[in-house]
Structure 1
Amino acid sequence: MAPAIATAADAPRNDYDWRTNWPTHYVFADGTDVGFSLKYQYDLDRFSNDQGVYEDAQTNRRKEFGMFIRKKGVYDGTVVFDFQTKTWLDVFFRVQSKALLGADYGALRVGFMKTPVGFEGNTSTGSTSFMETSLPMQAIYANRRLGMDWALTRKNYLVQLGYYKGGNLQGDLDGRMVAGRAAWTPLNSPGIVLHLGGSLSRESPQGTTDGRGHYNPPSVRLRALPEAGLITQRLVDSGALRIAEHVDRRGLEALWIGGPWSVQSEYLDAKVKLRGRPAYDARGWYAYGSWVMTGESRGYSAGNVSDVVPKSPWGALEFVLRYSTLDLDDGITRGGTESDWTLGANWYLTKFLKLQANYVRATSDRRDLRIDPHIFEMRAQIMF
């Protein structure tokens, strides 16, 4: 009897296609799949019309390495570390209820993972249509936290609820958070998708005591880069908002995919309750369109999008245009306003190789200081 093992090496030599089959994992006879993942990005940024604020740069953007184990319909677990920023990313274990209870009541996950507020923020950083996330997503999205969540995914809807406590694996962001996300997908088939959703969360930050015994009261800071990843100077920044009792985040999201065309948009806001002061409000939104010139469609599964998978030996070519805006001015806090137009092109050479180019035209105003940089970016990416 032939062993029930599936690897790329099992295929006959004349059927092997390096564009789609990379032997990065091993499937055992019982269906247990063990492997490793890699995401490497090298970026080039060029700036003009920036009043000398930014310096041209080219270097690694991400060097992520991970390992996983999974068994379809039963469980999955992963550990990922970014050696470029020296930070932990996803570190979690998830179990499917059907394997334990005999019926599908969703999946339970524990560990360090992304919170469910923010559509674009929950898209893999290797599968985004643009090189960097939009302004409101950078400022308002809560990113990863330690905790647990439950998700129920169906063809026409999804629901996700999470509770997080203990900050992150870098030792920051102490406090607790509850969050939820729901979406309706009346159209959900390959190449034809309509996704309408919303999300809510409340985070209660905690103060910290440093090594010298100095107490830092709980605070919240909202800020964003001008959609370029190799810089640190931000054009809009609320500064530390103290003393923060809690921050409420809200989001509305929409996605339509019709063959090679797609439109995605999202609105996000945050209300920070401050002790002894009026609450601080921040808000922003983005919208973008995508056209895959070679005819493929953007991927969609379980409430999220994925890269275009090329059908031609020459790959797939996608053109994208995005507008994003963020307002961090409220009351006495003058965090500034910024709006960005981004024009981009993505060349998916294979399932694993992608080249990206973005041109960003940013317009900002903070405390009557106006800086309007023009940014040209390129990226080469390997991901599996």
Structure 2
Amino acid sequence: MKNQSINLIIKRKFRVLVIAALCLVTMNVFSQDKAKSSENTFKSYWKNGYQLVSKDGKFKMKFGGRIQYDWAYFGQDAALEDEFGSLGNGAEFRRARFFNSGQIYGNIKYKIQLDFTGGKVSFKDVYINISKLPIVGNLKIGHFKEPFRLEALTSSKYITFMERGLPIAMSTERNSGFMIHNSLIKSRLAYQFGVFRNADSYGNAKQANDGYSITSRISGSLIKNDEKDQLLHLGLAYSYRKPQTKEYKIKSRPEAHLGNYYVNTGTIENVNSITHLGTEAALVLGPLSFQAEYIVSTIKTQTATANVNYSFKGYYGQVSYFLTGEIRKYKNYESGFGRVKPKNNFGDGHGGTGAFEMAVRYSGLDLNDKTILGGDLKDITLGLNWYLNPATRLMVNYVLADLNNVGNGNAFQMRFQIDF
């Protein structure tokens, strides 16, 4: 047992050293090109993270990270307590991540992002992106988010609420694979098409069988007026999945990461294939913003005697408004919405208050179909966000959960966040 623990520690340290070595190699590439040409003199500056850029703009590097620390207080009626047991209040580091990203020779981009929560180091985004390719435009290779759902693609640094809506339980976020993608018609229309394999927390996908997934998405900005701060975004995504284990499960908490799982299909066996179909829409009118998504998952099972299909659905709709006049900025088709920049930072010495945002969301997840009674959960979430500056945010959420034919629960949550 002692030797196993020592080996585990050595392996973890080795992985960290490998990542550090990759960062140093990248920096060495930068320094070599700097030595070769005075045109590649680098300047360093701070812009939501420490950045380096060459004079000709072909070489770039950024270091950043995020810390999200949560508190949660729960309440539930007797029916839920009888069904799921007592629920204690708690606190956790929801995310603690650091990354290095950059650009090499103008058309090669990369990112290495590690997460340190849960007492271990794991991969999040580790990929290489090659641009300016004929016909397809861009090729992305590595471990990254599958192109499915606007809210899932938007970074946790920028989502409106502390947790994504209930349909996140139907999404597979990151996997290992490759994806072609590009924007068209002056970035008004975009497509993404990827082939993936289920990977562990280090991006490894070791499978000797036919387990894989194919995920695609088309999205567009029908209206995009930066001068008037107006945006209308629509999208459609589809994912076909062939599970390695022939098993599948969907389960979800009530939009509170420290809470209990209130809905759960249990393990569905003899699964032949899984399909996810998702629609998405977002509307921004100055400080007012609307966003909604609807997802249908179909699980096809096959035995020697019968074929049975199960269908589950998830959805949400949300409205947010900036009391101080800021707007939600759309970043791009790959990353959804981006950073909020207050008009006046809190503590700037000129009486700045930062930005204040109010939001409400209604979401649902129905996991009942035929012989599977996983539960039907509805949530109403109220949110208040205080952006002290572009890198610091305090969040307060109140979640009211209704588990159909069982009972009700609630959660009061706070998050302290800094990202750079």
Q: TM-score range by the shorter chain?
A: 0.7 to 0.9
C-alpha separation between the residues in 1 aligned to 2:101 and 2:89?
37
User: Of 306, 309, 312, which residue of structure 1 is paired with 2:338?
Assistant: 306
CA RMSD of aligned residues (A): 2.1
How far is 1:307 from its partner?
2.9
How far is 1:301 from its partner?
2.3
Amino acid at match of 1:159: Y
The CA deviation string for residues 215-243 of structure 1, in whole angstroms up to 9 with x for no partner, is: xxx21111111101123x20000111111
How far is 1:145 from its partner?
1.1
Name the residue aligned to 2:189: 157
In structure 2, the CA distance between the partners of 1:248 and 1:47, relative to structure 1 (3 Å rule), is same
Q: TM-score, normalised by structure 1?
A: 0.87
In structure 2, the CA distance between the partners of 1:3 and 1:177, relative to structure 1 (3 Å rule), is closer
Matched residues, percent identical? 30
* Count of residues in Structure 1 that have an aligned counterpart in Structure 2: 354
The CA deviation string for residues 157-184 of structure 1, in whole angstroms up to 9 with x for no partner, is: 1111111125344567962011110112
Contact 1:7 1:23 in 2 (8 A): no
Q: TM-score, normalised by structure 2?
A: 0.80
Name the residue aligned to 1:145: 175
Query: Aligned runs of 1:107-118 on 2, under 5 Å?
Result: 107-118=138-149
Contact 1:173 1:205 in 2 (8 A): no
- Alignment of 1:229 onto 2:265: no
How far is 1:7 from its partner?
2.2
Query: Aligned runs of 1:1-384 on 2, under 5 Å?
Result: 4-8=41-45, 21=47, 24-31=50-57, 32-51=59-78, 52=81, 53-71=86-104, 74-85=107-118, 86=120, 87-97=122-132, 105-137=136-168, 139-154=169-184, 155-170=187-202, 175-190=211-226, 191-207=229-245, 218-231=246-259, 233-276=260-303, 277-303=307-333, 304-313=336-345, 314-365=353-404, 368=405, 370-384=406-420
Amino acid at match of 1:124: S
Amino acid at match of 1:6: K
Structure 1 range deviating more: 53-62 or 335-344: 53-62
Amino acid at match of 1:240: T
Structure with a larger share of its residues in helix: 2
How far is 1:37 from its partner?
1.7
How far is 1:6 from its partner?
3.0
Contact 2:127 2:143 in 1 (8 A): yes
C-alpha separation between the residues in 2 aligned to 1:322 and 1:91?
32
How far is 1:69 from its partner?
2.0
Amino acid at match of 1:179: T
C-alpha separation between the residues in 2 aligned to 1:23 and 1:167?
29
Amino acid at match of 1:62: R
In structure 2, the CA distance between the partners of 1:150 and 1:375, relative to structure 1 (3 Å rule), is same
The CA deviation string for residues 331-363 of structure 1, in whole angstroms up to 9 with x for no partner, is: 111100000000001111111111111000000
C-alpha separation between the residues in 1 aligned to 2:40 and 2:215?
45
C-alpha separation between the residues in 2 aligned to 1:193 and 1:300?
8
The CA deviation string for residues 222-269 of structure 1, in whole angstroms up to 9 with x for no partner, is: 1111101123x2000011111111100000100000110110000001
How far is 1:302 from its partner?
1.7
How far is 1:106 from its partner?
2.2
Contact 2:39 2:56 in 1 (8 A): no
SS at match of 1:120: helix
C-alpha separation between the residues in 2 aligned to 1:325 and 1:255?
18
In structure 2, the CA distance between the partners of 1:321 and 1:48, relative to structure 1 (3 Å rule), is same
SS at match of 1:242: coil
C-alpha separation between the residues in 1 aligned to 2:137 and 2:391?
30
Contact 1:121 1:133 in 2 (8 A): yes
In structure 2, the CA distance between the partners of 1:173 and 1:224, relative to structure 1 (3 Å rule), is farther
Amino acid at match of 1:371: G
How far is 1:75 from its partner?
2.1
